[in-house]
Amino acid sequence: MAVNPTVSFEFFPPHNADAETQLWHVMGKLVPLGPAFFSVTYGAGGSTRSRTERLVERIHTSMPVNPAAHLTCVGASQAEIETLARSWWEAGIRHIVALRGDPPKGESSYTPHSDGFRNAADLVAGLRKIADFEISVAGYPENHPDSPNQSADLDNLKRKVDAGATRILTQYFFDNDLFYRFRDAAAATGIKVPIIPGILPVTNFAKVVEFSGKCATTVPTSMASQFEGLDNDPETRNLIAASVAIEQCADLSANGVDAFHFYTLNRAALTYAICWRLGMRPNLNDSADAA
């Protein structure tokens, strides 16, 4: 097992003041683990733009952790996106997670904005022209649903890297073999930047099954059987969730993975337990800064 894995944590912008206070406690719990960055999602269709900006800036100014701002191409012209990216650079934000984004609600397929970036590779190239950002992009161990096959999906990933991406954060997955195959196939395509597995600690199994159908993530039968019958028993479900995610991460670690990106869903407990199991210990001198 890797002694000191690198971890990063993803959050979504809170909907109201109470949720923001709660999120601040969650972040305060995770800060002492010394994460590489906290990333903040950008709601579908840019719907959370101002809340994303606010949270990223708050992390930047009051947390001892670097923020990474997610940014999508949806519903904005190139000029609007460039203005936003410039303002982030001027505010000291150095890391962007560059994404195409999903079609807005009610639309089944993605259509680029008439003056916008066509896809994530275009966006990465546009950001590279603005400033020397650290740029992460999305990778798909089970292929993106829009992709005809793995070879096309990897070609697209390579385009994003060639355009200037410095790191790949993967879609979440539960079957590690799929990740290992993806990692090997990406390396064979000539992709050399780090590929960081996205880990989703499961809090609500029924919802995860539904969402996994939409993003084409396999839920192994062995995993489903562990959660079966626990829909109305959140306490036991949480214990099972911890054991499932800990097993997954321990196996990844045993197979050479030394960095993890957690989809925290704005909760700390499961993510913290997994990090602990991976050998991480908090530096409690950091917690006072974050409170």
10 as an active site residue: the answer is: yes
User: Nearest approach, Cβ of 191 to ligand FAD (angstroms)?
Assistant: 13
H/E stretch holding 138 = strand 134-139
Residue 215 and residue 139 in contact, taking contact as beta carbons nearer than 8 Å: no
Q: In the range 123-142, which residues lie near ligand FAD by CB under 6 A?
A: 138
Binding-residue total with ligand FAD (CB under 6 A): 23
51 contacts ligand FAD (rule: CB under 6 A):
no
To 10 degrees, the CA torsion angle through 193, 40, 70, 256? 20
Contact flag: residue 8 with ligand FAD (CB under 6 A): no
Contact call for residue 288 and ligand FAD (CB under 6 A): no
Q: Does residue number 78 form part of the binding site for ligand FAD (CB under 6 A)?
A: no
- Does the protein bind ligand FAD through residue 217 (CB under 6 A)? no
Cβ proximity of 72 and 96 under 8 Å: no
Of the candidate residues 27, 55, 68, 169, the single one contacting ligand FAD (CB under 6 A): 169
CA distance 210 to 281: 34
Q: Does 101 bind ligand FAD (CB under 6 A)?
A: yes
Residue 158 in contact with ligand FAD, rule: CB under 6 A: no
> Could you say which of 33, 37, 133, 171 contacts ligand FAD (CB under 6 A)?
171
Considering only residues 30-49, where is the footprint of ligand FAD by CB under 6 A?
41-42, 44
Candidate list 10, 53, 57, 142, residue with the active-site label: 10
Output the six-digit token pair for 259.
């960095």
* Shortest Cβ 251–ligand FAD spacing (Å): 21
By CB under 6 A, residue 258 contacts ligand FAD:
no
- Out of 70, 95, 167, 183, point to the residue binding ligand FAD (CB under 6 A): 70
Give DSSP secondary structure letters for 110-123. ----TTS-SSHHHH
Residue type, 97: V
Confirm if 144 and 170 have CB atoms less than 8 A apart: no
Q: Which residues bind ligand FAD (CB under 6 A)?
A: 41-42, 44, 70, 72, 97, 99-102, 119-120, 138, 144, 146-147, 152-153, 156, 160, 169, 171, 198
